[in-house]
Structure 1
């Protein structure tokens, strides 16, 4: 079990390092250049590869790279590409070539999303049902640790050594996280390819969407994380408006708050094994929705650092618990035979809601202010919880 958890921790950490760095650094950089909140909100479209990755998930399930295993091969190839594009960004003058940076950021999100498909599929097949609570806590914790490195450590490093050396350092860290997957020997099962490709491409989607009461579940996925993504997008320019530097924001949101997310994810994993996925999904979602309203404190003008730290820790810790419960519920609804497709389709639905919420957050904040934006984000989360209670979403046979 320990070897599984180390492998998953390394994989989920690596893919979040560059994407978190970009998504945390660029909004603050744009705000410091006096760019509008609407423009910052449109950065949500960078998440588009994550929303559309279900389209190429069947290829990941069906084909493998010979000599490297099945999902392991895809992971290795796309993590190398992710390292290369991150390394290339180190030599971009971001003030003179901002458009090129946006293109590279899009590629980073694309490569990360493809790696994520293979990683999720590997996790579904690797973890036994009774291991999924802790496994998803490690997944959530790995994502957060990657965010600590990319959104905290490198953000602080950026203030100290500059853009180029920060990204070179980040590339080297990502290379190191490849070691566990290079040492891992994947058990590859032979999958039949006798069926027509087009039929095999669409049939898993049809099978998944034909499950009882799946439509309410998709609406839950659409809304459950939308509130978090809306609030997390706008808190960064808000803190910049309150006079915090890149280092201040990196330490508060990228290291301290994300460390709290790791601890709370592990706690959530233990609680989930005792109370069950759906019950925790409702409980943690309610708590996270209420604590999101604490972001109104800096929105109304409070700039005391101890208060801001307390607010950011509370919000991030509870959101992490809700996210962990959601990941566990999503894995329960994934058939091991079509793990990449089932899980990725659910993740894509979640990100579609996130993109819409992120883009809307810029427009709402610019017209009505930050405080009302956080109220809307909490309302979205509460609506998703209402759908869970109304739909009585069933567990699959793989629960």
Structure 2
């Protein structure tokens, strides 16, 4: 029997993107719920678990680096986006199966390294899926489709988290890796293989050859640079994406840590995670529908505000019962939680899942509204990547704060910090002139100045002039973002500047790969003069570019 091409109909498109996002959610749920729960039971601390979960999301924070390659290097025979999805899903299966022989928690470092590779392919798959969505979904489908897509991710998270926890007595953790790999394989066979993309219009077809690819990359970089800085809505989207999407603590490892500490067994944790994801999935669809009807910014403002309420409620209950600091299996006296405290965790987590689901069904659609379809895989993916960076650093700081400050104060900080993004939300709206509003020049100068300052701040940090202490992983992640963003800005900016500032453009091209290589410092020598020289040179070039006129961005280009 020949399976249908799901991209041909509205229902088919919604179905396809639902299952594609299921494959994204399954590994995340497996790591953040099933693996994290077992680690806490084996007395691994909240800070170490938070760092593990944070590192799991880290490749997704830089997935926008794959965007230009996915947009430029395509195959008409396999499908412009389908070929990438197919290849990455195969590698997801391979890397999961490679983890079956590991011994936890003794080999947690090895598992983290393998899952970093796994998630690099997962991030690459996500880029291709999002680009396929931008290019195939009709405008009146986007709100509902985003709700359905993130609903699929929530269901996938439930399968990978709750499903594996339920099966744990029968298959063990190693069997969990096989189970997750098998679920992805089913989607590959029954959803991805039958997909047929529309042929790429002749005007958009890429010629073959390395030289042609280089020219395409240069042209593409210019288009992407203009898209991010050309309109106020697209530019504001960068900052909105970097901030936490509301309070996050009840959706990350902190919640599962608490569940284990108050005495919930694997089945109870699994049921909590299952109901959380089912409710969240339904709320995602509802949130998308409501945003299409009443406006994305208005509804998103309400959803983000609601996310802080369950967090504040749980903070109050934990304070009342004096459940302040994380417990340990080494404690002389084992604490026993009151039934009312366990109930409060259920109530807070389920209420939070409603608000979080409503938010997820809307937040991605608002980024689609300010994305240039010509560079969809890069621009939209960059927004999604920055959202994942926010998840990564949130999981990391919350684990550190829980051990240093206790659970109630951590929840309070999370509830307040989660509302900061509301200040940026009103600025994110489609421009009347999508090709550019003439303000790109000033935005380019602002961005160059901010990145230059970030590179300079690294120097005293690296020299040890201020001690980050336990927060060092958070600082390292943020500096990595600065270095990678600086490299991309300088490389793409050189193409945009062209002959108007050839010397500074070339200097930027030279500095870009060295700044990008700073991403690898974790695996290099602990001390090297290069760690000071490269950021200093990058800061000098960026500061000089911050003084340029960027005339090419002052006038919006004519539509193609």
What's the TM-score, normalizing by structure 1? 0.92
1:280-291 correspondence runs (5 A): 280-291=299-310
What residue number does 2:474 align with? Answer: none
Which of residues 74, 84, 109 in structure 1 aligns to 2:119?
Answer: 109
Mark the runs of 5 or more structure 1 residues left unpaired by the alignment: none
What residue number does 2:408 align with? Answer: 371
CA distance in 2: counterparts of 1:217 and 1:200, whole angstroms: 23
User: What is the CA distance between 1:265 and its match in structure 2?
Assistant: 1.0
The structure carrying a bigger helix percent of its residues is 1
Is the 8 Å Cα contact of residues 136 and 269 (structure 1) preserved in structure 2?
yes
CA distance in 2: counterparts of 1:3 and 1:114, whole angstroms: 23
Q: 1:347 to 1:152 in 2, by over 3 A?
A: same
Moved over 6 A (4+): none
> Relative contact order (alpha carbons < 8 A, sep ≥ 6): 1 or 2 greater?
1
Mark the runs of 5 or more structure 2 residues left unpaired by the alignment: 1-9, 322-337, 435-560
What residue number does 1:5 align with? Answer: 14
Alignment deviations for residues 227-272 of structure 1 (CA, whole Å, 9 cap, x no partner): 326752311111111111222212102x111110011111112211
Q: 1:226 to 1:58 in 2, by over 3 A?
A: farther
User: What is the CA distance between 1:143 and its match in structure 2?
Assistant: 0.6
What residue number does 1:200 align with? Answer: 219
What's the TM-score, normalizing by structure 2? 0.67
Which of residues 207, 220, 235 in structure 1 aligns to 2:255?
Answer: 235
* Most deviating of 29-38 and 8-17: 29-38
User: What is the CA distance between 1:303 and its match in structure 2?
Assistant: 4.3
1:1-399 correspondence runs (5 A): 1-43=10-52, 44-65=54-75, 67-178=77-188, 179-189=190-200, 190-192=204-206, 194=212, 196-213=215-232, 214-225=234-245, 227-228=247-248, 232-253=252-273, 255-296=274-315, 299-300=318-319, 301=321, 303-304=339-340, 305-389=342-426, 392-396=427-431
- SS of the residue aligned with 1:177? helix
- SS of the residue aligned with 2:430? coil
Is the 8 Å Cα contact of residues 34 and 160 (structure 2) preserved in structure 1?
no
Is the 8 Å Cα contact of residues 85 and 129 (structure 2) preserved in structure 1?
yes
CA distance in 2: counterparts of 1:299 and 1:207, whole angstroms: 49
Is the 8 Å Cα contact of residues 22 and 105 (structure 1) preserved in structure 2?
no
Is the 8 Å Cα contact of residues 42 and 105 (structure 2) preserved in structure 1?
no
Is the 8 Å Cα contact of residues 370 and 429 (structure 2) preserved in structure 1?
no
Is the 8 Å Cα contact of residues 295 and 311 (structure 1) preserved in structure 2?
yes
Q: 1:226 to 1:105 in 2, by over 3 A?
A: farther
Is the 8 Å Cα contact of residues 223 and 353 (structure 1) preserved in structure 2?
yes
Alignment deviations for residues 201-243 of structure 1 (CA, whole Å, 9 cap, x no partner): 5324311221332443322211142632675231111111111
CA distance in 2: counterparts of 1:350 and 1:166, whole angstroms: 27
CA distance in 2: counterparts of 1:380 and 1:231, whole angstroms: 15
Is the 8 Å Cα contact of residues 226 and 357 (structure 1) preserved in structure 2?
no
Is the 8 Å Cα contact of residues 57 and 117 (structure 1) preserved in structure 2?
yes
Is the 8 Å Cα contact of residues 260 and 317 (structure 1) preserved in structure 2?
yes
